[in-house]
Amino acid sequence: MDGVLASPHPSHQLRAHEHVQGVSEFAADMSHAYTTPYLSPPTPDTPLPHNSPSPSSSMTTKQLQDYWRNEKRRCRQVKLLFEIPSTRIVEQYLSKYVLYKIIIIQTGSFDGKKTVIERRYSDFEKLHKNLLKDFDEEMEDLTFPKKCLTGNFTEEMINERKLAFRDYLGFLYSIKCVQRSKKFIDFLIRPEMEEAYGCLRGGQYTKALEIFVQVIALQEKLTKHSPVLIVPTLCALVVCHKDLENLASAYEYGEKALLHLQMHGGHRYYVPLLETMITLAYELGKDFLSLQEKLEESKAKRNQIKVFTLKELAVREYIQ
């Protein structure tokens, strides 16, 4: 009828309500995002990740929400957190000591791969002395728990050292040059690496795999500044899986290693890994011609007479 406004259809009212609700949720989400210490409001000069779409007016509310949620997650600070929840006393012939259980988790994002290691007082003491040789100035304000002649096994002393070592590791990790040093990383992974490579050399591939999988989860977190450092471990996993005839898994780890070696064609593992990957690709019915081309190109550049196999390289790692 003329002069009379028809009531909107119920479905239109519902869509309008959903739109208003979506915009409100988006505004609330963005308000929260800008108040976090990890993400500041975007500016015209704010660089965007090359693999992320930029926000545009054509995006739906849901797409905008997802976009900024991903941006906030990407910008969130990631660091390692050290906890020492428990200890155990080990008694051997003419020897008695306390092992401290260290749990290492990654903050800033969900971490389903927490790492658990054990270290004794003498391990911490050795780390401290080694680090002081290179970082004396950076560590001048750091106090190391003193050695005691008696009372080392009392509950009070053990609890005191648990807290002290937790804070000690956290302090070391907060110093970037220490955090990235080989000595600090070795303290956290070397004993387990030595055990894993010992199993590999002894043909105990299943046991070696179990240890390598645990260690590489931590090693990846410790070497984000230089991911190529995990290539030997990835290649050790390739060797173990290949010898256990888990060809698909071997190929998968090999692909990860090659990804880290894209800009490191002269790396000692590059040619042996390519040779192994060609064999695996052929047996799995995958494309191996592109790998063959890379291998020929690399060999032409290097003019090497002797190249170790992947396994020959792996068994040479972490020899005590």
Domain count, the chain: 3
Residue 155 has pLDDT above 90, yes or no: yes
Instruction: Walk across the sheet containing 95-107 and list its strands.
Output: 79-92, 95-107, 115-120
Considering the domain architecture, whether residues 254 and 303 belong to the same structural domain is answered as: yes
Mean pLDDT (the chain, rounded): 82
- State the pLDDT at residue 72: 57
**Residue 5 falls within a domain, yes or no?**
no
One domain, residues 58 and 144: no
Residues 6 or more apart whose Cβ sits within 8 Å of residue 205 = 199, 239, 240, 243, 244
Query: In terms of domains, do 152 and 239 share one?
Result: no
Give yes or no: residues 201 and 309 share one domain.
yes
In a domain, 263, yes or no: yes
Looking at the fold, whether 169 and 245 belong to one and the same domain comes out as no
* 90 and 196 both lie in a single domain: no
**Would you say 134 and 63 are in contact if contact means Cβ atoms under 8 Å apart?**
no
Q: Considering the domain boundaries, does residue 46 fall inside one?
A: yes
CATH number, residue 154: 3.30.1520.10
From 179, 213, 240, give the residue that closes a domain: 179
Residue 301's pLDDT band, with cuts at 50, 70 and 90, is confident
Task: Identify residue 296 by its one-letter amino acid code.
Answer: E
Contact by Cβ (8 Å): 26, 61: yes
Q: Is 103 helix (H, G, I), strand (E, B) or coil?
A: strand
pLDDT at 8 over 50: no
State the CATH number of the domain containing residue 237. 1.25.40.10
On whether the CB atoms of residues 314 and 236 are closer than 8 A, the answer is yes
**Same domain for 210 and 309:** yes
Say if 184 falls within a structural domain.
Answer: no
Question: Do 19 and 53 fall into the same domain?
Answer: yes
96 and 125 together in one domain: yes
**Domain of residue 91, residue span:** 79-179
What mean pLDDT do residues 111-127 have?
A: 92
Report if residue 3 sits inside a domain. no
Q: Are 208 and 310 within one domain?
A: yes
pLDDT at 12 exceeding the cut of 70 = no
Q: What is the pLDDT of residues 70-98, one digit of tens each?
A: 555 555 566 899 999 999 999 998 899 99
Are 112 and 142 members of one domain?
A: yes
